[in-house]
Structure formats: structure tokens, C-alpha cells
Amino acid sequence: MPFSLDGCKVLLHAPAAGVAERVHALLDAGAQVSVMATEPDATLRDIASRELIDLVTDADPLQYDVVLRDRPRAEAVRPAADDGGAVTLVGGGPGDQGLLTIAGMQAIAEADVIVCDRLAPLGALSRAKPDAEVIHVGKIPRGEFTPQEAINELLVTRARAGLRVTRLKGGDSFVFGRGGEEWNACVAAGVPVRSIPGVSSSIAAAELIGVPVTHRSLTQGFIVVSGHVAPDDPRNTVDWGALARSGLTIVVLMGVAVLDAIAKTLIAAGMPEHTPAACIADASMPSQRSVTSTLSEIDRTASDAGVGAPAVTVIGPVVSALAR
């Protein structure tokens, strides 16, 4: 860490553009962050809903150890267009910048343009060049979002202008990160593209609470599946019955809203209702919270504990494999 604010109460006053990365940098330094904003935008409301900050409309500065007035990032200075533009897809891991790879950090430091998601390790943007252009394109659940087609176009146009573009995502770009679509868009446009792998939350979330996705004598594998839509939704392509009979650990991403339907479907297909299950929200972040229960009760247990998106659910005997 470049500096430490461990345990300090910090008030960020009058947030400007780029507040998300400044909040994450303070959190990475160990601060307890409050943000004062009379009209918080969607980004601030989203961060507050994940319990990463306290959002206040008025505050007594004397109640805080540190008071900061935000400032906007320096305006980007564009180099003349040349043939040097390229795109790097960076998997940022589950959120804590300590779980970002060295190669990923280097790509951030060298970028002219950084296009980032809301679940990326935004604190790492403190390592970016002062004049780097930072563009937030995160998709807030049931809220503001940037269409994928617009993101693809953004990457291509910036790279064609001769800029080094880093696309910073949470987790791994190729595990439900739509990195494949961005890769194909770059190739189709003749833009050089490479990918730097990241730590996938499908494994990291479980491990951070002491749950191995595989464990000798319990299972010979695990499967990662999207819970973006319910099992009975016409858009669903997952054979949940096959998963129930597979004997594998089931890891569900983006499944909090339909967790009850998933559990009932698995039980109906033969998975014992007492199968251990865990739900982990905001893995690796200061707001990380988790619950363990049985398959039949995991939705109610998570809801009662306020465990919501973004969350990972792990289902299988491995949830109770390690001594507590």
C-alpha cells in the first residue's frame, strides 16, 4: 500500500468526476469512508448500497480524522494518432487491488485510456498516469448501464486514435465478463488486443471464507454457472437437473435475485435439501459479508442477513469441508 489510513474516519467532501476510484483508494488504505453529497449520482448510490461508504448530506468535520475535498482528474492529453493503438483486457480480480496481478497493474500504469467496470479494483487507478482518461462503463443492477455495443465501439475508436487502452474488469474477463465479445470487436476492427487473466470471483469468493470449491473425497470438480435468469425463464439454457445429479460443486454467479427458484429446482431434481450452501457478497472488499445454511434455507438466510448483489453462491458438501 502507498499509504495507510487504517481505522481512520474520512469524509470526502464535494465529490467530483472519478469519485469511485478515489473512494476505493481510501478503502484500500483502510479508511472508513463517508461521502457528503446533497444530490448523489447513481455511482454514489450504488457504492452506498453495497455498504462501502456512508452517504451523508451534512456532516460535522470535527467528527472525522481526515476531511478531503475531491478534485477532478487532470484532462487527458491526446497524442497524435499513429499506428500504436492497442487494447488490453485486464481481469482485475474480485475487488481488492491486492488481488490484481502485477501485469494488470502495469497495464493500468501504462494506459492512455482506462475503461472500467464498477466491480473492478478501482483503487488501483491511483497508479494511472495523471492525464489518463478514465471512463466508467459499469452496469448498475436495475439502474444505469452502458450497452456492450457502445463499450466495444469505445475501445475500438480510442485504439484507432493511437491510444493504449486498458479495459479493466472485475474477476476474469473471460468468465462472464464479456471479454470474448470485446476481443472479437477489436479483431474485426483490426485493432491489436491481448488479455491479462484475473482471479475469478467464482473461486476467490469461496476461498476468502474458507470454502474450497474442490476437496478430496467430496467432489472431483466444480462448475460455474450464471444465475442471471431463473431456471424457468425462457432465456435459461442451463440444465439444472443435470447439475443436481452431477456430484460437482455448483458455483452460481449473478444469482441472488433468483436464488430461491434455483434452490427449489435443484431440490426437485434430486439434490438433498440439506446440502450445505454459502452466499458471499462483495468478496475481498471491506463490506464482505457471508452466510452459510442449507440449500433449502439459503435464500431466506441470505435475505435475512442483508446479503445481496454482487454475490457468489456455493452449493455442495465443500461448504462444510474445513474445520471452523
Residues catalogued as catalytic: 117, 139
21 contacts 43 by C-beta, under 8 angstroms: no
Residue 141 CB partners (closer than 8 Å, separation 6+): 309
Q: What is the DSSP letter of 145?
A: -
Sign of CA dihedral 141, 145, 150, 154: negative
Instruction: Cell numbers for 246, please give them.
Output: 452431477
What share of residues in the chain are helix, strand, coil (percent, to 5)? 30, 20, 45
Length of the chain: 324
Strands (E), 108-264: 113-116, 133-136, 164-169, 193-196, 222-226, 249-253
Sign of CA dihedral 113, 117, 120, 122: positive
Q: What is the DSSP letter of 306?
A: T
Helices (H), the chain: 19-28, 42-49, 102-110, 148-160, 179-188, 201-208, 240-244, 259-268, 298-304
Q: Which of 155, 170, 74 is nearest to 113 (CA)?
A: 155
Total Cβ atoms within 10 A of residue 50: 18
294 contacts 316 by C-beta, under 8 angstroms: no
Q: What is the secondary structure of 259-279 as a DSSP string?
A: HHHHHHHHHHTT--TT-EEEE
